Chains A and B, each alone.
Chain A
Amino acid sequence: MSSPLHAEGLSKAFLSGKVRTAVLEQLSLSLDPGELTLLAGPSGCGKSTLLAILSGLERPDQGWVEAQGERIWSLDHHALRRFRLHHVGFVFQGFNLFAALNAVEQVALPLTYLGLKPAEYRRRAEAALDEVGLAACRHLRPAEMSGGEKQRVAIARAMAKEPTLLFADEPTSALDSANGRIVIDILHRAARQHGVAVLCATHDPRLLSHADRILRMEDGRILDDQHPASPAPTAEDSAL
């Protein structure tokens, strides 16, 4: 199976006053479909910057990113947005849900930008909520949900678009261990069942045992690329 994302020679530095701080240095990697890849490392090692560059949110100083057969940083602003619309899902540390919308509407909202008909985006939204185990909560607003449930709505929102790439930035850092485990299980299942390449930046050591692949980062470089023999089966995997 071809790699849904390949990056080569990525470098990025930020200027703070007159001080130039290198965040990524000549970094290369590929993601495989159907795999949950954890990007682990201490705070400030460049995980989030790498995620932003790979997902088309932050332009690298050097290097290129190829996804869906296109070098995404050669695309213009609108084409890059369309690329994200059709191929990329995001799960952020904060859930970033609109307070006024219920769960179905939260998930359906990005689908409206795909030009889907109301019946279709509602069907997809309800299916995505069902998949994250929140079918019963579909009419609840964020204020009526727990942190874990909100993050599951955020995952449903990202998955309902049926992306080929899913980027998650510290998705469990605001959750307790039980909810953290549920969330990582859902991400893992999303990768396995839908063939999505999931890249999840985290410094939560509890998640390492759930990954198909672990990339350890430090000082803007990938130091280690592991494929653990057999990640712990998720509750849903066990049920299958």
Chain B
Amino acid sequence: MIALARKTLLYEWRRYLPATLAVALSGMLLLVQLALVYGIFQGAAVYINASRGQLWVGYPGTRSVDLGRSIPLDTEIHLLMNPGVRRVEPFQWVNGDWRGTPALGSVSVFISGIDPTANGLAFARVIPPQLRHRLYQPNAIIVDAADLPKLGIHLGQTGILNCQRVHLVGVVHGIRALGGVNIISSLATARGLNAGGDLRPAYYIVQLTQSGRAKALRNQLRSSSHPPRYSVWTSSQFAARTIRYWLFQTGAGLGVVFMSLVVFLVGTVITSQTLMGAVAGSIAEYATLNALGASHAALARVVLEQAAWVGTAGLAIGGVLSTILLFLARNQNVPVSIGPLGVLVCLGLVMGITLFSGLLAVRSLRNADPAYLLR
């Protein structure tokens, strides 16, 4: 075959550059936006993702980890009765009020009470055992390094939390909260900070004897609780459930969809206009081919192939730009996260933009009437 589409694209690259850049920037905007939103809302599920253990058990129907309510204490025994369960660890959730310096005012915080033993499950991915051990000290707390300015405290200093003096024994990375500050303490400290409140845990984290049987154990534990006094989720399921809640119940997801539509619209307009201009610039040549017997479908294939090449080149440029941006964002502690599915969705959307633009440009081939060449 004569690669008319590809050769034209290479020879007249300046003509196609605006479309290629539009596709590249559309792709970059979509990808970075998705990575940012997903990264930010991953913060909502940091309690789950930063912990080990295969199952989470909480109040029936809890839609997001931060909406947990106390569950009965005998749940622990009930869970341990299953031979597939190796370890059950309570997770205390307490809302707190941090009193910083007068200049900083007060800050709403989320206190996570965890088991400070060396093999504890909660936040095991971000708190090393030695640091975890320091939580045995009364009123000891750990926070994210990025939250120190917000709390107005440095390592080794004390602060007032829920009217009690607490002692900062360690800082870690990767536990920033969404809409507040995460403070980690021992279970005992957390209960002490919740004086007068419900002392029962909000969750139990479950470690299984065989981690690969998480779904089966989840189903077993679910069916063994009638009427349901608690819900059981696999860790990934509960994390996804939490992110989904934040995405779609808080209006943020709608914002993403709206922004994506704007990107789609702008990308489509620029790309289709460029392709239409290219078709118009070669309309006499297309008409001549039609006169010589090439079908409209064959000519449309040329335009669509050009659109596909523009999309491919745009995606390559957009991919490089996105990688650089995401790398810079990570370096600056900006929460960004995107998985293969997110990348695939962006790829699909961007190719959708270009092929839709190509289809719009194909319409201008209607002007390729060879009879006009004889008028």
What is A's interface to B at a CB cutoff of 8 Å? Answer: 48-49, 51-52, 55, 57-58, 78, 81-82, 84-86, 88-90, 92, 94, 96-101, 105, 108-110, 112-114, 118, 141, 157-158, 161, 169
Contact = CB atoms under 8 A, between A and B. Distances in A.
B285 A52 contact: no
B292 A89 contact: yes
A100 B292 contact: no
6 contacts: A55-B291, A90-B288, A90-B373, A99-B8, A105-B7, A110-B289
Nearest to B296: A81
B155 interface: no
The 7 closest A-B pairs by CB, nearest first: A85-B293, A100-B11, A96-B288, A100-B8, A48-B374, A110-B292, A100-B7
B281 to A, nearest CB: 9
Given A94-B284, A157-B292, 17 more contacts: A58-B371, A86-B293, A88-B293, A89-B292, A92-B288, A96-B284, A96-B287, A98-B282, A99-B12, A100-B10, A100-B11, A109-B289, A112-B1, A113-B295, A114-B293, A158-B292, A169-B373
B174 interface: no
B287 A113 contact: no
A85 B288 CA distance: 11
A110 B293 contact: yes
A231 to B, nearest CB: 25
Contacts of B1: 112, 118
Nearest to A51: B374
A88 B292 CA distance: 7
Nearest to B369: A57
B295 A81 contact: yes
Contacts of B285: 96-98
B211 to A, nearest CB: 57
Interface residue SS majority, chain B: helix
Nearest to B283: A96
A169 B289 contact: no
B155 to A, nearest CB: 65
A141 B298 CA distance: 23
B294 A110 contact: yes
B295 to A, nearest CB: 6
A114 B292 CA distance: 10
A49 B372 CA distance: 10
Contacts of A89: 292
Contacts of A58: 371, 374
A49 B1 CA distance: 34
A88 to B, nearest CB: 8
B375 interface: yes
Contacts of A110: 289, 292-294
Given A85-B293, A109-B2, A113-B298, A99 B375 contact: no
Contact of A92 (B10, B11, B290, B373): B373
Interface in B324-375: 370-371, 373-375
Given A113-B298, A157-B292, A100 B4 contact: yes
B13 to A, nearest CB: 10
Contact of A49 (B287, B291, B298, B374): B374
Nearest to A87: B293
B374 A169 contact: yes
A51 B284 CA distance: 17
Contacts of A90: 288, 291-292, 370, 373
B4 A101 contact: yes
Nearest to A96: B288
A113 B294 contact: yes
Contact of B291 (A57, A105, A114, A118): A57
Contacts of A100: 4, 7-8, 10-12
A101 B2 contact: yes
A98 B4 contact: yes
Interface string B277-309: 000001011011111111100100000000000
B113 to A, nearest CB: 69
Nearest to B8: A100
A109 B291 CA distance: 13
Most A CB contacts (10 A, CB to CB) among B4, B11, B285, B295 go to B285
A131 to B, nearest CB: 18
Contacts of A94: 284, 373
Contacts of A55: 291
Interface string B152-164: 0000000000000
Contacts of A105: 2, 7
Interface string B1-32: 11010011011100000000000000000000
Nearest to B370: A57
Given A48-B374, A52-B374, A85 B292 contact: yes
Contacts of B284: 92, 94, 96
A193 B101 CA distance: 101
Contacts of B7: 100-101, 105
Nearest to A57: B371
B293 A109 contact: no
B293 A57 contact: no
Contacts of B8: 98-100
- Of A100, A110, A157, the most chain B CB neighbours within 10 A belong to A100
A108 B295 contact: no
A142 to B, nearest CB: 10
A101 B12 CA distance: 11
A101 B7 CA distance: 7
A161 B370 CA distance: 18
Contacts of A98: 4, 8, 282, 285
Contacts of A158: 292
Contacts of B298: 113
